[in-house]
Structure 1
Amino acid sequence: MRGKSGSGKFTGRHMAIIMVAGFGIVIAVNLAMAAVAIGGFQGVVVENSYVASQQFNGWLGQAEKARALGWQVTPARDEDGFVTLTTAGVPAGTRFVGALRRPLGEKAFADLTFRPVADGTWRSDQPVAAGRWLIRLSAQAEGITWADESEL
């Protein structure tokens, strides 16, 4: 005996529904992941990558000169949220400035200046919110420029 006519048959319509649903899921996931990726991006690193590539060897030379100075600077956040710099080999009268930015997630930036508080120790002028930061430090002393970037 045969059942109802058309019952249990797999038709082209069923296949079309499965294909549209499958590709719809893939597209929805891709759009969601792209939105998350763009939301965590902090912006343009360089305006023109070709021009930056032409300056790259100069930046390497500046980094080598800074490293050759032998200055050791270790940033840390104290219990009050201020950034402290513990230094070694840095001449007296050095002026430090810092630029903070969040590496991922919320867009947050801060500029810091530092004042000496003890021999070899500097403290920021304002506290910094908790969380992960990248700090780009630069220093000026006796006509010498030094720069470094580290995680805070």
Structure 2
Amino acid sequence: MSSQQAPRRKPFTGKHMTVILVAGFGVVFAVNFLMASLATSTFGGVVVENSYVASQHFNKWLDEAAKEKALGWKVDVERRSDGRLTAALAGVPAYPTVKAIARHPLGRKPDIALTFQKEASGAYVSDKPLPEGRWILRFDIEAGGKIWRGEDQVEGQEVMGQPVP
């Protein structure tokens, strides 16, 4: 036999197992905390106040949407250089009342109520400018005794349909 012996390995103890468990669960907790904080920072709030009550109105909302779609009305929105919005209406009878609620998609900014008035050019222009950013406009257009509701999006970095460099 040789005088040199193989080096002895240290035994696996409870301290080693404790370190492995704490490190493993630490990684899991850190990832969960990161994901939860990212999720809550990007979701602005409640979609509906009471989901049960909303479910009771769902079929009525579907019927109203079908009637509105059958009207064939359309709206196209663009941002002007002064921040006001222009709404081009298609298929809408004469002398409509055009209103909209501008909602931030993530709920970070308060809703803004807009009323549109007809200009000499024939376009409908909002009564006030809309702040920069991405917005969802929920329109209520009333004309000829009928009501149409629809949505359109406005991006903050464009003026009259052209991106701003």
TM-score by length of 1: 0.86
Count of residues in Structure 1 that have an aligned counterpart in Structure 2: 151
- Cross-structure match for 1:25: 27
- Cross-structure match for 2:159: none
Name the CA distance, whole Å, in 2 between partners of 1:136 and 1:23.
46
Please tell me whether Structure 1 or Structure 2 has the larger radius of gyration of its CA atoms: 2
Gaps of 5+ in 1: none
- Cross-structure match for 2:158: none
Name the CA distance, whole Å, in 2 between partners of 1:113 and 1:48.
29
Name the CA distance, whole Å, in 1 between partners of 2:21 and 2:109.
39
Name the CA distance, whole Å, in 2 between partners of 1:78 and 1:8.
74
* Superposition misfits of 4+ residues, deviation over 6 angstroms: 2-5
Task: State the AA in 2 paired with 1:43.
Answer: G
Gaps of 5+ in 2: 155-165
Sequence identity (%): 48
Residue 65 of structure 1: CA displacement?
Answer: 1.1
Residue 8 of structure 1: CA displacement?
Answer: 4.4
Q: Choose which of 80, 85, 88 in structure 2 pairs with 1:86.
A: 88
Name the CA distance, whole Å, in 1 between partners of 2:134 and 2:77.
13
CA RMSD of aligned residues (A): 2.2
Map 1:55-74 → 2, pairs under 5 A:
55-74=57-76
SS of structure 1 residue aligned to 2:139: strand
TM-score by length of 2: 0.80
Equivalent residues of 2:45, 2:107 under 8 A apart: no
Name the CA distance, whole Å, in 2 between partners of 1:54 and 1:33.
33
